[in-house]
Amino acid sequence: MGFSKEEISDKANYCLGCKVKMCRKGCPLENDITQFIAYIKEEKYEEAYHTLCETTVLSPICGRICPHKSQCEGSCVRGIKGESVSIGNLEAYVGDLAIENGYQIPKFSEEKKNKKVAVIGGGPAGLTAAANLARHGYDVTIYEKYDKLGGILRHGIPEFRLGKDILDKQIEKILELGIKVKSGVALGKDYSLEDLEKKYDAILLAFGANISSKMGILGEDLQGVYGGNELLEKNTHPDYTNKKVAVIGGGNVAMDTSRTIKRLGAKEVTVIYRRAEKQMPAEKKEIEDAKEEGINFLFQTNLVKVMGKEKVEKIECIKTELVKKEGETREVPVDVVGSNFELPMDYVVMAVGSKVEEKIVNLLELELTSRGNIKIDENYMTSKKKIFAAGDLSGTKATVAWASRSGREASNAIMQYLEN
């Protein structure tokens, strides 16, 4: 992270070591933040790492990319009257030290269980679940469609936010727990769910939901309209040189795609979001970084249609006003009649949400929710016995920490199922 030992010491000593750990309550993974920082104060870095390992196996990653200001740091007591403790920086520092010094992820049990579990998908949910199961002695195999594990960490988060060298080294550390990997194999092509059901005692579906949602507007099928998730995942971009690009949405995918596109030479990148800036789900730091990098923002603006003969030539937008409606927990955007305007545009990128790939869902023959996610019960089990689901696939909040927590909780449920 580029901090000296003295700087890290100063950041750690700024922590009050509260008895009531509000920061821990703000962390989706419930990391024992005050305890790992207490160890940093004493320069007991391996103990600090092992404290983090009680709840997470992704510390150098989460320390870099989590939306800390809306999670742990946002709940920090010091933040009430001043700056919050730099929890993310401290977590990343300890995670990096673990990689450099070879600290091991401790096992919870040395006893080998005679049970086999397949985890489909090597993203944050799958990696966390596989690690938790392996740490308890289960025989775990991850099935991954790409050559390398990482999921959204590798194919959804740009290099400028998460270096792939850090990711590779942390995955290697996780695999040292004895996890087997079958990479370059796709569900429905190289193997089926039925194949796995014959070989394994339990199966966890954790392959994410990375198909960009559409708005259902006119012109959405023109050449030059892309999905933000697909651009980040496949990293196959058109030539943006001297082009104008509109990115629709207000989450981290919108920030990552807009910043990536700007770096690839676009003349002008404009993020269009139908609500106010304060309502953007993207991390505040990511929004500020995007602004500093020259990204334009149009708030309280909605895309009406994309125009052009065969490819994108311009877009029509409309201004919105925020109205508090009965039964709604927050103000909703309502179009301002007559406020339509047009903008010349070369490309449009949709970053308004994501969904599970329909073809794969149909292959699974599992019950779905009204939103198209795989339906799970309170124990993460799907409508088929011994098949579980976690992460975006099951509708988990779309952050790495929440996906990771989902994987951890699902793996706990699998262990409970296997031992009953």
pLDDT (tens digit per residue) in 244-297? 999 999 999 999 999 999 999 999 999 999 999 999 988 888 999 999 999 999
Here the tokens at position 118 are: 């397949």
Same fold, 116-209+356-419 and 212-353: yes
For the four alpha carbons of 196, 199, 203 and 207, in that order, the dihedral sign comes to negative
**d(Cα 313, Cα 208) in Å, to the nearest integer?**
33
Residue 79: how many CA atoms within 13 Å on its side-chain side? 16
Alpha-helix runs per DSSP H in 176-248: 193-199, 228-234
Of 157, 397, 123, 164, give the one whose Cα is nearest residue 259: 157
List of the chain residues with pLDDT < 70: 1
DSSP 261: H
Given the candidates 3.40.80.10, 3.50.50.60, 3.40.50.10490, 2.40.170.20, the CATH classification of the domain at 116-209+356-419 is 3.50.50.60
Enter the tokens of residue 189.
């092509």
Give the orientation angle of helix 164-175 with respect to helix 87-101, to 10 degrees.
Answer: 60
Sequence ranges of the domains in the chain: 5-101, 116-209+356-419, 212-353
d(Cα 77, Cα 19) in Å, to the nearest integer? 11
* Structure confidence at residue 208 (pLDDT): 81
For the domain 5-101, what is the CATH code?
Answer: 1.10.1060.10
pLDDT of amino acid 200: 98
pLDDT attached to residue 1: 57
**Closest to 270 measured CA to CA, from 351, 160, 332:** 351
Q: What is the pTM of this model?
A: 0.93
Q: Are 125 and 406 in contact (CB under 8 A)?
A: yes
Q: For residue 93, give the 3-state DSSP assignment.
A: helix
CA 217 centroid distance within chain: 27
Q: Measure Cα distances from 3 to 8, 10, 29, 97, 382 in Å.
A: 6, 11, 25, 12, 45
On whether the CB atoms of residues 72 and 33 are closer than 8 A, the answer is yes
One-letter identity of residue 123: G
Burial label for 412, CB within 10 Å (0-12, 13-18, 19+), is: middle
**Contacting residues for 225 by C-beta, under 8 A, at least 6 apart:** 219, 306, 312, 347, 348, 349, 350
Phi/psi zone of residue 273: left (φ > 0), alpha (ψ -120 to 50 degrees), beta?
Answer: beta
Distance (Å, rounded) from C-alpha 142 to C-alpha 117? 9
**Domain spanning 212-353: CATH superfamily:** FAD/NAD(P)-binding domain (3.50.50.60)
Buried b (16+ CB within 10 A) or exposed e, 314-351: bbbbbbbeeeeeeeeeeeebeeeeeeeeebebbbbbbb
For residue 364, what pLDDT is reported? 84
